[in-house]
Structure 1
Amino acid sequence: MVRLDRIVTRGGDGGETSLGDGTRLPKSAPRIAALGEVDEANAAIGVARAHVPPGMAELLGRLQNDLFDVGADLCLPLNQERPALRVSAVQVEWLEGEVGRLNESLAPLTSFVLPGGTKGAAFLHLARTVVRRAERAVVHLAEAPGETLNRLVLVYLNRLSDLLFVLARVANAEGAGDVAWEPGRDGG
């Protein structure tokens, strides 16, 4: 259980912050950037959660909890000797199952879909793009010299963005309210 007695610590006032093992890193480090992007993705999902029906909101709550697991995984590099919470294949498989289950009720796409439609769908599309940015930040971390990470973090974020896309279509009246892209519509 986490206990936070003090919120203002002044520990980051010099442009550094701590990982889960106490290691200090500059706030500009790729690992810290990836953690920040995952945090922003979680917040974007929280906004979407406030604009969807209760059943979907419950599913989004599970995703938010899982994103804290992603953050816990990222805050301790793989070369740690102590046990750490890691994203698991079970979490990825659950996402894949949800994508398949929810996609079954949707009509096949015949066009790319513009982000929008209902308020809930628009916020889900926004959350999807924020998750994609978090995924890019984790790829950048994986490419940084000397960095190690759980490869399933990347897989999880990739599947999460897929699920958010499908959820946006569900929120748009099972896809009937999707806004289709019309290539060259305005003479472009």
Structure 2
Amino acid sequence: MKIYTRTGDDGTTGLFGGGRVPKSHPLIAAYGTVDELNAWLGLARTQLLSEESDLETLLQRLQGMLFEVGADLATPLDSRARTVRIKADHIDSLEREIDRLEAQLPPLKTFILPGGAPAAATLHVARTVCRRAERLVVEALQQETLNPEVLRFLNRLSDLLFVLARWVNHRRGTAETPWMPEKHSTA
């Protein structure tokens, strides 16, 4: 199989279930951003320490789920094409991870600045890309009938990525930087 097909040279791309749409279509922006998010998780994996194999396994599993999100978005709901669909079970598994990891963290008492260890900072970037993907799915939903579980999945995944960033910093003994609003004079 060749990596290039030339079919997109006209500015369109094919959906899994058939049909073509412009590459500027909100649906393509949504699953393109999911792909970008997947790459950020891959970068975070390269920044893990050898003793963080449990996190490596989790991030790799999340990357697989993001391929499923992309396939779900790229396959119209009324398509006869067989594809994996995001289901409530996917969201439940994210919530279980959030609960498990949060139980190991000190309570959050203030907003924190994104940063810390390189892997944590990368996970914070991934969280913001996930939020952008979520917004783009909302936009695509205005034009397409999509699986509503995808939106819930991305919302919950961004929460998990925030908790993961905190967890990495906590595990490595890297202090979180609280956000302190500046006091501006009114004079």
AA at the equivalent of 1:32: I
Choose from 164, 167, 176 the match for 1:167: 164
Alignment of 1:95-114 (within 5 A): 95-114=94-113
CA deviation map 1:29-85 (0-9, x unaligned): 111111101100111111111112221111000000000000110111112234432
Give the structure 2 partner of residue 23 of structure 1. Answer: 19
CA distance in 2 between counterparts of 1:181 and 1:58 reads 31
- In structure 2, the CA distance between the partners of 1:142 and 1:114, relative to structure 1 (3 Å rule), is same
Match of 2:53?
54
Equivalent-residue separation in structure 2 for 1:77 and 1:160 (angstroms): 22
| RMSD after superposition | 1.7
Q: Amino acid of the residue matched to residue 183 of structure 1? A: P
Please report how far the alpha carbon of residue 186 of structure 1 lies from its aligned counterpart in structure 2 after TM superposition: 8.1
Most deviating of 174-183 and 110-119: 174-183
1:114-168 per-position Cα deviation (integer Å, ceiling 9, x unaligned): 1101111100000000111111110100112xx1100000000011000000000
Indicate the residue corresponding to 1:63 in structure 2: 62
TM-score, normalised by the number of residues in structure 2: 0.92
For 1:148, the equivalent position in structure 2 comes to: 145
Q: Structure 1 vs Structure 2: percent identity of aligned residues?
A: 51
- Aligned residue pairs, count: 182
- Does structure 1 retain, via aligned residues, the 8 Å contact 2:105–2:170? no
Amino acid at match of 1:9: T
Instruction: Write the letter of the residue equivalent to 2:129.
Output: V
Q: 1:104 to 1:176 in 2, by over 3 A?
A: farther
| Structure 1 position 118 matched with structure 2 position 117 | yes
Is the 2:75–2:81 Cα contact (8 Å) retained in structure 1?
A: no
Counterpart amino acid of 1:11? T
**Take 1:81 and 1:56, find their aligned partners in 2: how far apart are those partners?**
36
Spell out the pairing of 1:71-110 with structure 2 (5 A cutoff).
Answer: 71-110=70-109
Unmatched runs of 5 consecutive residues or more in structure 1: none
2:184 matches 1:179? no
CA distance in 1, matches of 2:185, 2:69: 44
